[in-house]
Chain A
Amino acid sequence: MTAVARTRERSGDERLVGAAGEPRDARLYRRMRFIRRFEETVLALFEEGVLNGTTHACVGQEADAVGLMEHLRDGDHLFSNHRCHGHFLAWTGDAFGLLAEIMGKPAGLCAGIGGSQHICAPGFKSNGVQGGIVPAAAGIALAERLRGSDGLSVVFLGDGTLGEGLVYETLNLMALWQLPLLVVLEDNGWSQSTPRSLNLAGDIGARFTAFGLPVVEVETTDVLEVDAAAAEAVALCRASCGPGVLVIHTYRLCHHSKNDDNRPIEEVRARWACDPLAVHGIRVAPDDRAAIEREVEEALRDCVTRVRQL
């Protein structure tokens, strides 16, 4: 808990990311609300038939990116996966660039070539092939080391990706070379349609400690608990200029991609009690909360209107 939370300067709309000086609880709530409503908006646009392809929403996991981003700063680099919208929005706030990209517009982040899973922005990249981004993030960390800069490379993976062999090649390398790389593992319990019990042997944290990597592990959807764990993990990396692992056991409240949820309905319903927006929302005064929700709604509506006009 040594790191001081820093707010990155963002390019996004203040209604989505918060004005400078907004109290922390309100800011965290606003950003989670922003990501939630962005994902729901994208899904609605799919239903409407104005989007094609695929998307992987992070509904239920918003606290991970928002809590972590409190501790990252300019000069750091994030590498994300197929479920990258929340990470990207928490880092940049750029709803317009991402929505334009997903809607295949030339004004999108990658001119519509990348789409939902393959995006690039300053300090941020994503790719949709499981595990393959992990060594790339290690390479970026090695670049930071060779340059003598103090940037931290961060890579996001899910529990399903622990099936990929290249992850373990990279864990070995990052530990061996003590690279400034933070692995953020979001364990949402389900790898697409397959429960963790059918996918993973042994213990998740032990996979990392076997390589001598320091692990901070938390089971929560509370953004303040994620924030605290992220503070600890990031501080470890910064102090040693070396590697670290943050394991967050969370839950995906939405389907894997689109209309492909065959998980037990009671299980998902029970998990809505831990909806990160509800868990944290009670910390924000009802009037403030309503104002935030209204602002997010307006900003996203403006964003959709602008993108539709492209």
Chain B
Amino acid sequence: MIYARALGDALRHALESDPRVVLLGEDILDPYGGAFKVTRGLSTDFPARVRATPVSEAAIAGVSAGLALAGFRPISEVMFGDFLTLCFDQIVNHIAKYAPMYDGAATCPVVIRTPSGGGRGYGPTHSQSLEKHFLGVPHLRVVAASLWHDPVALFEGFLANDSPVLQIEHKLLYPLHVAAGGNGAGVAAIGEDGSPGLPPTVSIRPVAREECSLSVVAYGYQAELARRLLERLAVEEELFAELLVPAQLSPIDWAPLERSVTATGALLTVEEGTGGWSWGTEVAAGLGSRLFGRLRRAPAVLASASDVIPSAPDREAEMLVGERQIEIAVREAAVPA
């Protein structure tokens, strides 16, 4: 099943199993069913709880805040991750603050999900991965969709918890087949690790962890690119690396990353967002500090150029992290310094 469909089913399951769930978003009604068709069919079956909004991203976030404060479980769609900038005040100064600033006298469990990322030639304002600007916002969980994390389980986790969540969904995941449950990763073994109450960090490795010369940490669509590359390198060159795919980007679940890097002695982070002040630099700094004496070389961070994303396909591919850039980085990071 493709990811967009699996996600739609997860939203359907949430609506069916929890009467507090309300979906808000632009153009999410049938027959259109959302710009990426994730919500197709839901407004027909749940007309009162699936609501199309005007083009008002800040109000989508703000109305969601009010619904959540009043005991509902809004799951709202922001049509493009680029438009999260319009929700920034609502997320930082309202949604993430209410529960802690009221000392728990209220909770604001809003889930905002948004298609992000490039590779479709949509250009400077419809291709970005802006999640780094939300990482580290106190009391906000930032989660990235992946092919290895079952959306039904993820959303059940969101609904079982009172924390607000921002879920980033790379657009290029939508047409790909989900791999959650173990298939789709070729010859590699798949495992899960992680701390209680958090979505698992998925481990994909061709051989035992101790035989891997590198831990690659990647999320979202980049994780799938890394998976393909690492599988090829393992088969063709016996270059073995463990791929770690967290769902939750912030706060970071350090334990599974620490265990892997302790064994491999080397780290490469991969993300599509622009470089600097990023998820990767935080992971690298954290693990570099925790595992200082055990690393064989300095942690490596791969991110896209700090630039505007071009519309022209060749120039976009040159700027954004893709399989080619990941291969160069893996080869460099896997060699003992």
Binding site for B on A (CB under 8 A): 77, 109-111, 113-114, 118-121, 125, 127, 129, 132-144, 146, 153, 165-166, 169-170, 172-173, 176-177
Within the complex, which residue of A120, A136, A166 is in contact with B66, where a contact is CB–CB below 8 Å? A136
> Can you offer 21 A-B residue contacts whose CB atoms are under 8 A?
A113-B100, A114-B102, A114-B103, A120-B105, A125-B102, A125-B106, A129-B94, A132-B94, A135-B65, A136-B62, A137-B66, A139-B65, A140-B67, A146-B22, A165-B58, A166-B59, A169-B62, A172-B54, A172-B56, A173-B59, A176-B54
Q: Name 17 extra pairs, CB < 8 A, besides A136-B63, A173-B59.
A: A110-B103, A114-B102, A118-B101, A120-B98, A120-B106, A125-B69, A127-B93, A129-B94, A143-B71, A146-B49, A166-B58, A166-B62, A169-B62, A170-B56, A170-B63, A172-B54, A176-B54
B62 touches A134 (CB 8 A): yes
A139 touches B102 (CB 8 A): no
B192 at interface by CB-CB < 8 Å: no
The 9 closest A-B pairs by CB, nearest first: A139-B66, A135-B62, A143-B70, A120-B102, A169-B56, A169-B59, A136-B66, A111-B103, A139-B63
Which residues of the other chain, B, contact A177 by a CB distance below 8 angstroms?
51
- In the complex with contacts A110-B101, A172-B54, A127-B94 CB distance below 8 A: yes
The answer for the CA separation of A132 and B64 in the assembled complex, in Å, is 12
A-B contact count (CB 8 A): 115
- In the complex with contacts A138-B66, A146-B72, A170-B105 CB distance below 8 A: no
B66 touches A142 (CB 8 A): yes
The answer for the CA separation of A170 and B64 in the assembled complex, in Å, is 12
B64 touches A139 (CB 8 A): yes
Q: Scan B96-112; emit 1 where CB is below 8 A from any A CB, else 0.
A: 01101111011000000
B18 at interface by CB-CB < 8 Å: no
The answer for the CA separation of A22 and B103 in the assembled complex, in Å, is 36
Which residues of the other chain, A, contact B238 by a CB distance below 8 angstroms?
none
The answer for the CA separation of A235 and B11 in the assembled complex, in Å, is 39
- In the complex with contacts A113-B103, A139-B67, A140-B69, A129-B54 CB distance below 8 A: no
The answer for the CA separation of A120 and B106 in the assembled complex, in Å, is 8
Within the complex, which residue of B49, B54, B69, B101 is in contact with A113, where a contact is CB–CB below 8 Å? B101
A135 touches B101 (CB 8 A): no
Within the complex, which residue of B54, B56, B68, B103 is in contact with A139, where a contact is CB–CB below 8 Å? B68
Binding site for A on B (CB under 8 A): 22, 48-49, 51, 53-54, 56, 58-59, 61-72, 74, 89-90, 93-94, 97-98, 100-103, 105-106
The answer for the CA separation of A118 and B108 in the assembled complex, in Å, is 15
Which residues of the other chain, B, contact A165 by a CB distance below 8 angstroms?
58
CB distance from A57 to the nearest CB of B (A): 21
The answer for the CA separation of A111 and B70 in the assembled complex, in Å, is 21
The answer for the CA separation of A1 and B225 in the assembled complex, in Å, is 67
The answer for the CA separation of A93 and B64 in the assembled complex, in Å, is 30
A139 touches B70 (CB 8 A): yes
Which residues of the other chain, A, contact B48 by a CB distance below 8 angstroms?
146
Which residues of the other chain, B, contact A138 by a CB distance below 8 angstroms?
59, 62-63, 66
CB distance from B56 to the nearest CB of A (A): 4
CB distance from A114 to the nearest CB of B (A): 5
A142 touches B63 (CB 8 A): yes
Which residues of the other chain, A, contact B100 by a CB distance below 8 angstroms?
113
The answer for the CA separation of A176 and B69 in the assembled complex, in Å, is 22
CB distance from B248 to the nearest CB of A (A): 25
- In the complex with contacts A127-B94, A169-B58, A172-B54, A144-B70 CB distance below 8 A: yes
The answer for the CA separation of A141 and B62 in the assembled complex, in Å, is 12
CB nearest neighbor in B for A143: B70
B65 touches A136 (CB 8 A): yes
A140 touches B103 (CB 8 A): no
CB distance from B27 to the nearest CB of A (A): 15
CB distance from B178 to the nearest CB of A (A): 32
- In the complex with contacts A109-B105, A132-B62, A135-B90, A173-B54 CB distance below 8 A: yes
The answer for the CA separation of A172 and B63 in the assembled complex, in Å, is 12
The answer for the CA separation of A138 and B72 in the assembled complex, in Å, is 13
CB distance from B292 to the nearest CB of A (A): 36
Which residues of the other chain, A, contact B105 by a CB distance below 8 angstroms?
109-110, 120-121
CB distance from A112 to the nearest CB of B (A): 8
CB nearest neighbor in A for B49: A146
Which residues of the other chain, A, contact B67 by a CB distance below 8 angstroms?
139-140, 142-143
Which residues of the other chain, A, contact B51 by a CB distance below 8 angstroms?
177
Which residues of the other chain, A, contact B54 by a CB distance below 8 angstroms?
169, 172-173, 176
CB distance from A210 to the nearest CB of B (A): 15
A129 touches B69 (CB 8 A): no
B103 touches A132 (CB 8 A): no
- In the complex with contacts A113-B100, A132-B94, A139-B106 CB distance below 8 A: no
A135 touches B70 (CB 8 A): no
Which residues of the other chain, A, contact B90 by a CB distance below 8 angstroms?
132, 135
CB distance from B198 to the nearest CB of A (A): 25
- In the complex with contacts A132-B89, A142-B63, A173-B53 CB distance below 8 A: yes
The answer for the CA separation of A77 and B67 in the assembled complex, in Å, is 12
CB distance from B66 to the nearest CB of A (A): 2
A140 touches B66 (CB 8 A): yes
CB distance from A255 to the nearest CB of B (A): 24
B58 touches A135 (CB 8 A): yes
B69 touches A136 (CB 8 A): yes
The answer for the CA separation of A170 and B98 in the assembled complex, in Å, is 20
The answer for the CA separation of A176 and B103 in the assembled complex, in Å, is 34
CB nearest neighbor in A for B110: A139
- In the complex with contacts A138-B62, A173-B54, A114-B101 CB distance below 8 A: yes
CB distance from B109 to the nearest CB of A (A): 13
A139 touches B69 (CB 8 A): yes
A173 touches B103 (CB 8 A): no
CB nearest neighbor in B for A109: B105
Within the complex, which residue of A77, A118, A121, A129 is in contact with B89, where a contact is CB–CB below 8 Å? A129
The answer for the CA separation of A111 and B62 in the assembled complex, in Å, is 25
Which residues of the other chain, A, contact B49 by a CB distance below 8 angstroms?
146
